[in-house]
Homo-oligomer: A and B are copies of this chain.
């Protein structure tokens, strides 16, 4: 099960009723935080999710609205008694910037490890999946991220029986181990069906529409995509500032075809995003206007429990 919460939906500056854009994902006891602007720790507390399990922090880029809340969040994690390492991932400059901001965070009870991105695409391993970082198109180096949870195929008991594999090896094979039994070698591929559909959530901000987002959001259960401006006539401004209009985000989603898209990173001049949504949904029906604290649980498709 993958739990997703959009902690805030604001771009550029935090507002009284709109925290800065940030995502938290919970999977298998681990929390992954994407971006941490000023106030993200407050949004997390408001949601009621703990800061203790945050083991991975992903940064899209280092404009203040995406990282200014880091010192407070680190203290918050310390306060929640985290002691395990934290992996931080982001474009080049990560360690220099984080160490600089840490000047007011004192001694932390956990170690920070840094992974600085330099390729167009990079995969960060995760127990049971991986995170894919992919370059997007902003006025500074900026990355989007897909959280991929993989799902192995079914164990084929009939195949195992017909191959005469002893029962005691079944569980090990199911868990990916290769077994040598005298002269016989049993491999997982002998008894495991093809990988089944996993879960994927893709996150892209701040950026112009980009091929990398379309490629990465293909087959995603959810695309969280920036939409800085609602009005079509803000397109020149979107191009200049390297952001997107709602229409552009909708077109991009239409091409990528995720199961769902949530818009976020609204400009401070935007009131409610809702009036623009009929236009957006006319292009991509599965679009929603992201709201602060909006969350969803994603489960593997054959594990859906119908109420």
Interface residues of A (CB under 8 A from B): 13-16, 38-39, 41-42, 45-46, 62-65, 67-69, 71-72, 75-76, 79, 96-97, 100-101, 103-106
Contact = CB atoms under 8 A, between A and B. Distances in A.
A127 to B, nearest CB: 30
**Number of copies of chain A assembled together:** 2
Contacts of A38: 38-39, 41-42, 68-69, 71-72
A10 to B, nearest CB: 10
A186 B64 CA distance: 57
B62 A104 contact: yes
A-B residue pairs, 6 tightest by C-beta: A100-B103, A16-B46, A38-B72, A64-B104, A100-B100, A14-B42
Contacts of A65: 72
Contacts of A14: 39, 41-42, 72
Contacts of A97: 103-104
A154 to B, nearest CB: 45
A125 to B, nearest CB: 29
A5 B279 CA distance: 43
Contacts of A62: 104
Contact of A39 (B42, B75, B104): B42
Contact of A64 (B64, B72, B96): B72
A69 B13 CA distance: 12
Contacts of A101: 100-101, 103-104
Contacts of A64: 71-72, 75, 104-106
Contacts of A72: 13-14, 38, 64-65, 68
Contacts of A76: 13
Contacts of A104: 62-64, 67-68, 97, 101
Contact of A16 (B45, B63, B67): B45
Nearest to A39: B39
A62 B105 CA distance: 10
A101 B104 CA distance: 8
A96 B100 CA distance: 10
